[in-house]
Amino acid sequence: MDLGFYLLQLLTGLAYASTLFLLAVGLSLIFGAMGIVNFAHGSFYMLGAYLLYAFSRGQAEGFWTGLILVLAAALVIGALVERLFIRPIYRRPEEYQILLTYALLLILEDLVRFLFGAGYRSLPTPPAFSSPLFLLGTPFPSYYLFLVGLAGLSALLLWAFLYRTRLGAWVRAATQDREMLEALGINVPLLYTGVFAMGIALAALGGAALLPLQAATPGMAVDAVIQAFIVVVIGGLGSVWGALLGAVLIGLLQAFGILFLPEMAMVFPFALMALVLLLRPWGLLGRPPAVRT
Amino acid sequence: MRLGLLFLGLLLLGPILSEYGLKLVSEALILGLYAMAFNLLFHQAGLLSFGQAAFFGVGAYAMALLVSRAGWPFLATLPVAVLASALVAFIIGFLSIRLTRIYFTMLTLAFAQLLYAVAHKWYAFTGGDNGITDLRPAGILGESLPFYYLTLLLFALGVGFLAALERSPFGYALRGLRDNRARAEAVGVDGFRHLLLAFVLSGALSGVAGFLQGALQRSVFPDYLFWTRSAEAIISTILGGSGVFLGPAVGAAAFLFLRVLVQANTEYWPFFLGLLLLVMVLFFPRGLAGVWENLAGWVARGVRRGAAGG
């Protein structure tokens, strides 16, 4: 086991962390701005994978156009779901908002089963990344590097959007005081539709980007949303940087944990989450709530 | 009084039911108990648990493992099933009942799926997805009518316990915490302890339901712990109406009736479950009980108006 091997494992962990980040950051953003925990978030991740499969017709050559179409479709689907289902229940108790997204989780899983069948759906690695990259004599799958770059670019764009544009400032303001924002004449419902659609698009992008590495199944939705929960609980619910930190921690924990204790690898993320909950229940980068509710 | 009449009716129903009818009503009682255990958390404590399947499954697995691996008699495993599910509820609750209710809901789902994954993968202990089969209870409990009476007895005990709990100071404290935790704590109610105790009680009752279901089906599979199993308790409760004491049990009966109807025609049952939940949440948040009250109110108004007019 030389240095190259550990570097490869590091890259594997980071590649996994990249899709986790794309998945979890939307969940965190939607919660931060809208106060809604989207239990169907993993379903849109799953939908992204299946849509890429459909748009590229299972051919590696169709990857790039497919990815752009997935993004566009996810934005439309996200906006529609928010308008049709989420908006009518903003003023209801939060339990009913959660139940509604839970209903969407049930519906979407079976819908995908109906449309694509219960079997595995996969896509070969796109041609641009078919040959590995050599570093220290070790072959590195270049697609992993693409994933890390994609997540890094997304994080950077998201940061620029939230902290360098007026619209982003409104989204941050919505997390603080919705009524004040409305009083200033900002169309908050429209802003919510946008945030929701953006979160869904990020999740779908994550799911689609994972397709060349891991086949899609209808059951992946609930696993994905739980992974996303673990990431945001560790990082802090509502915090974009928390999602990044949580995703990297879980990605590395998985990649290296599987080397030392393969049977226990599944339990590690839960153990880390339990530890964070006991020591710092609001997450590593979250803010402790002012009033306990 | 009303509860007594219900139990008496179910008692008399036993001998006139067919084999299939007995099995179906037994299953409705089990699901009813399970949904009412969920509603102890949802309605009384204001906690939405997405992980009830964990306790249902642990109760079922405790029974199945002791019967099939250790040769225990079926009934003797009941105390162990209750204790095991209470213990698991204590651990999950201890970690989940922190900060906000949103955390609670997320974490209950996550921990329950962890247990599902363990049961699914740990072949040597749980048999993995082959499950544990051949669990017909020895003696007369292996027959439908005696088993129905056992189910009815445990259902009656569970429901009676929940009714007493609702009227006890503990029940008032839970509702106080639900409505305003800060105020309830200001008058000296220990929020964490009360919610944790409610969670453990709800887990133990769910374990009883799992114990019965495993014996009714004669087998236990990892899907007893799967998240869709938690959804059954939630949807029964929302369907029946969470704000009425027996609402979840009525919802469970309606749920099973729908399942028989839908599964005869399509394999896409979760899709209908989701659709049902969506429609209930959007249009009938108070469930069948709410629909019933609206209808009753509407009829009463109509009668009064008729009387005034005539």
Domain ranges of chain A: 3-218
Whether B182 sits inside 8 A of A292 (CB atoms) is yes
Mean pLDDT value across residues A147-158? 90
The boundaries of the domain holding residue B272 are 2-309
Distance between CA atoms of residues A15 and A142, nearest Å: 10
CA distance B160 to A276: 39
CATH number at B45 reads 1.10.3470
pLDDT in tens, B256-275: 998 888 888 877 888 888 88
Number of domains in chain B: 1
Q: How many CB atoms lie within 10 A of CB B191?
A: 18
DSSP label at residue A88: G
By Cβ distance, the residue of B98, B268, B277 closest to A99 is: B277
More confident residue, A4 or B211: B211
The least confident of A81-85, A237-241, B201-205 is A237-241
Residue-level pLDDT at A293:
41
pLDDT: which is higher, B29 or A3: B29
Of A148 and B289, the one with more pLDDT: A148
Greater confidence, B86 or A233?
Answer: B86
Query: Shortest CB distance from A110 goes to which of B99, B118, B268?
Result: B268
A85 CB near a chain B CB, below 8 Å? yes
How far is B305 from B310, CA to CA, in rounded Å?
A: 9
Residue A131 has pLDDT above 80, yes or no: no
Residues of chain B contacting residue A223, judged by C-beta atoms under 8 Å apart: 113
Residues from chain B that touch A115, judged by Cβ atoms under 8 A, are none
Out of A37, A99, A282, closest to residue B99 by CB: A282
Three-state SS string over chain B comes to CHHHHHHHHHHHHHHHCCHHHHHHHHHHHHHHHHHHHHHHHHHHHCCCCCCHHHHHHHHHHHHHHHHHHCCCCHHHHHHHHHHHHHHHHHHHHHHHCCCCHHHHHHHHHHHHHHHHHHHHHCHHHHCHHHCECCCCCCHHHHCHHHHHHHHHHHHHHHHHHHHHHHHCHHHHHHHHHHHCHHHHHHCCCCHHHHHHHHHHHHHHHHHHHHHHHHHHHCCECHHHHCHHHHHHHHHHHHHHCCCCCCHHHHHHHHHHHHHHHHHCCCCCHHHHHHHHHHHHHHHCCCHHHHHHHHHHHHHHHHHHHHHHHC
**Residue B207: what pLDDT?**
95
Q: What is the pLDDT of residue B308?
A: 60
In this prediction, residue B307 has a pLDDT band, given cuts at 50, 70 and 90, of: low
For A161-174, what is each residue's pLDDT tens digit? 888 898 888 888 88
Q: Do B182 and A229 touch (CB under 8 A)?
A: no
Does A106 sit within 8 Å of B274, measured CB to CB? yes
Q: What is the pLDDT of residue A34?
A: 84
> Which ipTM did the prediction report?
0.82
Q: What is the pLDDT of residues A197-236, one digit of tens each?
A: 999 999 999 999 988 888 888 888 888 888 898 898 898 8
In this complex, the residue of B98, B110, B271 whose CB is nearest that of residue A226 is B110
- Identify the pLDDT of residue B86: 96
Checking if the pLDDT of B23 tops 80, the result is yes
Q: What does pLDDT average to over chain B? A: 88
Task: Report CB contact under 8 Å: B113, A39.
Answer: no
Chain B contact present for A71, CB below 8 A: no
Average pLDDT rounded to a whole number, residues A11-28: 91
